[in-house]
Amino acid sequence: MGAVVFKYQLMVRREFIQQSALALAILSVYKTKALANNAWQAYQFRPLRNNVGVFTEQGGTIAWLNSKDGFAVVDAQFPNSAAHLIEELKKLATRPFKYLLNTHHHGDHTAGNIAFNGLVGQVVAHENSLKNQISTAEKANNLAKQLLPNLTFGTDGWKTKLGGEKITAHYFGPGHTNGDSIFHFEDANIAHVGDLVFNRRYPFIDTANGANIANWVNVLDRITGKFDDDTLFVFGHSRDPEKITGNKADVAAFKNYLQSLLDFVGQEIKAGKTKEDILKATAIPGAAEWQGEGIARSLNAAYAELSVK
């Protein structure tokens, strides 16, 4: 399938804004330092194994399958980056786009759905992801710019076969949102977990759309129990852009981050600390690997979840 392909374009990436604003606008778009320095960003299109690969440019990591019967794509980033992905896949083969699979509704994973309009057979997501995408788009007055899932599933998940590859969707309950799915390419043994894992990067916790940190910990437990030591995981985001894939140890490390977050904020609340005091923290004890911008998002979400108990 060729070597790593790099192409460059001038782009603005946006880091997550405050939860309340993001939940309303929910462009789920990133606002980073690139906004200030107009950095050139490469896009990367590369194989992993068994005809499954990844694409990164702007937004959540995309996975793709090139099977003899057609393409399957997991997540779609933004319209411009989705167009680059489509271009690269068409270079591999002249095949139909059978499935576009959305791990959840956030715009940095679904805004690019529209680039597949008229190309893809089915857009698949958890039923809550569809509800959230519609609600968010209506609030942002951009429903016409969405390509919505036309096939949804619930707690029982979903499965199909494409070429020689079996694709299975799992739903383990609320985590990053209330509609996060894991898509597993079984023969390749590659599982795209979407934003259920932020690898060594402070996560966005979308409480407005059903996120629950305590259950997120349980979801990650179920993931490490479900998949084996050979499973290659694709993460929605990573602090190091070269580490968008990893193993069960990385999933367990993120679980430790979330549990450490709950433990720390819970202890601070019990000690009588105010929310303002808690927000002064610059690291989460017991999870020093998580760094960068955005710790306040985690602290705010944990405080909100624990203070209502």
Residues 23, 53 contacting (CB under 8 angstroms): no
Which residue bears the tokens 């392909």?
Answer: 5
Q: What is the DSSP letter of 231?
A: P
Which tokens is 106 given? 């956030």
Q: Please give the chain's pLDDT, 309 residues, in tens.
A: 443 333 323 232 333 333 333 333 333 333 323 222 233 358 999 999 999 999 999 999 999 999 999 999 999 999 999 999 999 999 999 999 999 999 999 999 999 999 999 999 999 999 999 999 999 999 999 999 999 999 999 999 999 999 999 999 999 999 999 999 999 999 999 999 999 999 999 999 999 999 999 999 999 999 999 999 999 999 999 999 999 999 999 999 999 999 999 999 999 999 999 999 999 999 999 999 999 899 999 999 999 999 975
Which pair of tokens denotes residue 193? 């977990």
Q: What is the CATH T-level fold of the domain 5-307, as seen in this structure? A: Metallo-beta-lactamase; Chain A (3.60.15)
Helix (H, G, I), strand (E, B) or coil at 157: coil
Q: Report in angstroms the alpha-carbon separations of 237 from 56, 95, 99, 200, 243.
A: 10, 29, 22, 9, 9
Q: Which residues contact 61 (CB under 8 A, 6 or more apart)?
A: 54, 55, 75, 192, 234, 235, 236, 237, 238, 244
Beta strands in the chain (DSSP E): 5-10, 40-49, 52-56, 62-67, 70-74, 97-101, 120-126, 151-153, 158-162, 165-170, 182-185, 190-192, 198-199, 232-234, 237-238, 245-246
